[in-house]
Amino acid sequence: MTQTGNEKAYRAPKPLDIEQKSAINQIFELFRFNYHNQFLKAFPDHDTVIMAKQLWARLLVDFPADTIMFAAEQVVKQQKFLPNVHDVVEACQSSAHTLLGMPDAYSAYIEACRAPSPKKTYQWTHPAVYYAGRASDWFFLANSVEAKAFPVFERNYTLLMERVAAGEDIEIELPKALPEKIEIPMERKELQKKMKQLLKDLESRD
């Protein structure tokens, strides 16, 4: 059947791997233990828990198991009330700087503004800082007031943090170093040929 109007093609959800399934099972147990009465009210029976886990699986499938667990634990520390899946998704998106050693947005902004040229070979705290600076435009960052430049950088950096939190590997591709001078030795036969031609040219001038 062909699509018409605003219809969208159905795409089957990406399946969870074993570690992600285990992480979702663990965070439900974590919530059951920490929010006992609220948990039982929200998920009164086994079927409701299964349906909830299926929903959570679809929304958390892009995040590694470690990120899911870390985010859930952070939410439990911060909230008195039972978290919903959107709370955990947001925590996954914002956990990259803590879990993966990335600086916070403002520290990354300061680093991007102060980094000397050439930017590509600078020892960045994390490659995402370089890419956020490049996307924001180095000239713009260097010549704009913080109130104007930081929101632009923060948006680009946040998008990159989300990609890193989702498991994407971001690396800076450096150009391969080449020797200052490349010498190609001339083969003996080619050298003899050129010498003979040179002698002929000299003889023809006499």
Average pLDDT over residues 144-164: 89
| Stronger pLDDT, 59 or 181, i.e. the higher one | 59
pLDDT digits (tens, 9 = 90+) for 63-88: 888 889 988 998 999 899 999 999 99
Average confidence score pLDDT of the chain: 81
8 in any annotated domain: no
Does the pTM surpass 0.95? The reply is: no
- Does a structural domain hold residue 144? yes
Kindly state the average pLDDT of the residues 134-146: 94
Q: How many domains does the chain have?
A: 2
- Print the domain residue range for 33: 18-94
Residue 33, domain member (yes or no): yes
Residue 5 confidence (pLDDT) above 60:
no
Is the pLDDT confidence value at 9 over 70? no
- Last residue within a domain, chosen from 69, 94, 119: 94
Q: Which residues of 102-125 are buried (b: 16+ CB within 10 A; e: fewer)?
A: bbebeebbebbbebeeeeeebebb
Asked if 73 and 22 sit in the same domain, the reply is yes
Same-domain check for residues 86 and 126 = no
What's the confidence (pLDDT) of residue 1? 44
> Does 37 fall in a domain?
yes
Stronger pLDDT, 56 or 2, i.e. the higher one = 56
In a domain, residue 139? The reply is yes
Residue 138 included in any domain: yes
Residues 88 and 22 in one domain: yes
Q: Is residue 185 part of a domain?
A: no
When pLDDT is cut at 50, 70 and 90, the band that residue 164 belongs to is confident
171 in any annotated domain: no
